[in-house]
Structure 1
Amino acid sequence: MTSIEPITLTGKFVTLEPLSQEHHHGLVDAARDGDLWKLWYTSVPTPEGMAAEIDRRLGLQSQGTMVPFATRSNTTGKLIGMTTYMNIDAETPRLEIGSTWNAASAHGTGTNPDSKLLLLRHAFETLGCPAVEFRTHWMNQQSREAIARLGAKQDGVLRNHSRSKDGALRDTVVFSILEHEWPAVRNGLEFRLAKYSA
C-alpha cells in the first residue's frame, strides 16, 4: 500500500466525512459548544483559527501523513467535531488516531466510541494495519481514561516530548492496539454502543 485515501465512514451515531473548507461554519459552531479551545491540556482550534486548522490538516493530507475527517451527528445532521488518521506510515502500514475533539453536548452520547469503531475497523480490516496508536497529553486524564476504555494498552510516556500552545513542555502518553487485540476491542466497543439508543 502506498497511500491511505480519504473515505466516508458511516456508523450508528456518526458519519465521518473527508474534511473540506465546506465544513468550516459547522465546525466553528461545534467548537463554540463548550468553548473547547479554552482547555489548556488539549488543542482545539478557536473559531477564528478554524479555517487555518482545516488548511493545515488538508496540507498534511496532501503530504500523505494525515487523512482528516469532519464528524457529523446522524441524529441531528450537525457537525460535532474533527478526527484524523495521522502520522501515517503507509509502508508498514501503521497510523495514529488523533487530533480529535467533539462538541461538549456530544460527550457521553456514544458518538466518540462510534467514531473510534469506524476508524479502527477501517484501519485493521481494510487497510491491514498491524497496530494503531493513540497519543494524549499526560494531564488530559479524560482522554487517557477514554483511550484505556477502548482496550488500548499504554506503551509508555514520552517526557518533554513537545510544546503545548502556551509554550510549556508536555509529556505525551502513547497507547496502541495490536491487530490480534482488535477482535476483543471491537466486541467491547459494540457492547458499549448497544447501550445507547440511536
Structure 2
Amino acid sequence: MGAWIDGFQKAGAVVNVFRSRRTGSIVGMGSYMRPDPANGVVEIGAVAHAPVMQRSPVSTETHYLLARHVFEDLGYRRYEWKCHNENAASKRTAERLGFTFEGIFRQHIVSKGANRDTAWYSMIDSEWPALKAAFEAWLAPENFDQNGRQVRRLEDIRASQMRGE
C-alpha cells in the first residue's frame, strides 16, 4: 500500500490516514485530490473506511474535519466529491454529508477496461456555515443516547435548520 500512496502523493494528492485514538490502528483514509489553490477547489477522493469506521460517528466527524479544513484553514470556495455512478453507497454518503448532486459525467474515464460514468457532488463556501452548524449539532453529545446511537439524523438536522426550527 505504501507504493500506492507514494504514487498518489506524487500526482499531487494529500493522503490523510485516519487512526483510532483508542487503539492507534489505521481505520481509514481519504485524500485531497486535484488541489487547485488558484481557483479554491479541491476534491475528496480515495476514501476507504475499515468496518469499525463505517457508519459511525467517527466517520461523520472525520468528514466534518476534512471539510472544515478546506473552507476555514485553506479558504477554498469549492469542495468536490466524485464517485462511480454505480456506487450507491458513496452517493448516499455524499448526500448525507451535505454535498449537492451536480450531475453525471458520462464516459468520464475508463476504469478496469470499461467506461465509467462519474457522479459529481460539491459543497461551496456559501453553504459551509449552515453545513457546519448541522455537523456540530449532530456531533454534540446530546445527539447520542446512552448506547451511542444518534437521536437525530444529520439530514433531519439540516432540514430543520432550513425551515428555521
TM-score (norm 2): 0.80
Q: Distance in 1 between matches of 2:58 and 2:8?
A: 22
2:29 corresponds to which residue? 82
Q: Which amino acid aligns with 2:138?
A: R
Correspondence 1:42-61 to 2 at 5 A: 50-60=1-11
Runs of 4+ in 1 over 4 A off after TM superposition: none
Q: Distance in 1 between matches of 2:126 and 2:133?
A: 13
Q: Which amino acid aligns with 1:99?
A: A
Q: Which amino acid aligns with 2:134?
A: G
Q: Which amino acid aligns with 1:52?
A: A
Shift of 1:87: 0.8
Paired-residue identity, %: 35
2:163 corresponds to which residue? none
Q: Distance in 2 between matches of 1:58 and 1:129?
A: 20
1:105 corresponds to which residue? 52
1:151 corresponds to which residue? 98
Shift of 1:110: 1.5
1:66 corresponds to which residue? 13
Could you tell me which of 110, 126, 132 is aligned with 1:180?
126
How many aligned positions are there? 143
Could you tell me which of 143, 156, 161 is aligned with 2:108?
161
Q: Distance in 1 between matches of 2:53 and 2:77?
A: 30
Shift of 1:117: 0.9
Q: Distance in 1 between matches of 2:9 and 2:104?
A: 29
Root-mean-square deviation (CA, aligned residues, Å) is 1.4
Q: Distance in 2 between matches of 1:115 and 1:141?
A: 20
Shift of 1:72: 0.8
TM-score (norm 1): 0.68
SS of the residue corresponding to residue 126 of structure 2 reads: helix
More contact order relative to length (CA 8 Å, sep ≥ 6): 1
CA contact (8 A) 2:31 2:47 kept: yes
CA contact (8 A) 1:150 1:188 kept: no
CA contact (8 A) 1:83 1:97 kept: yes
SS of the residue corresponding to residue 132 of structure 1 reads: strand
Gaps of 5+ in 2: 149-165
Shift of 1:181: 0.4
Q: Which amino acid aligns with 1:72?
A: R
Q: Distance in 2 between matches of 1:105 and 1:71?
A: 12
Any idea what the Cα deviations from partners look like across 1:98-154, whole Å, max 9, x if unmatched? Answer: 111011222122122111111111110111111111101111111101100111111
2:83 corresponds to which residue? 136
CA contact (8 A) 2:41 2:79 kept: yes
SS of the residue corresponding to residue 180 of structure 1 reads: coil
1:118 corresponds to which residue? 65
Q: Distance in 2 between matches of 1:142 and 1:108?
A: 11
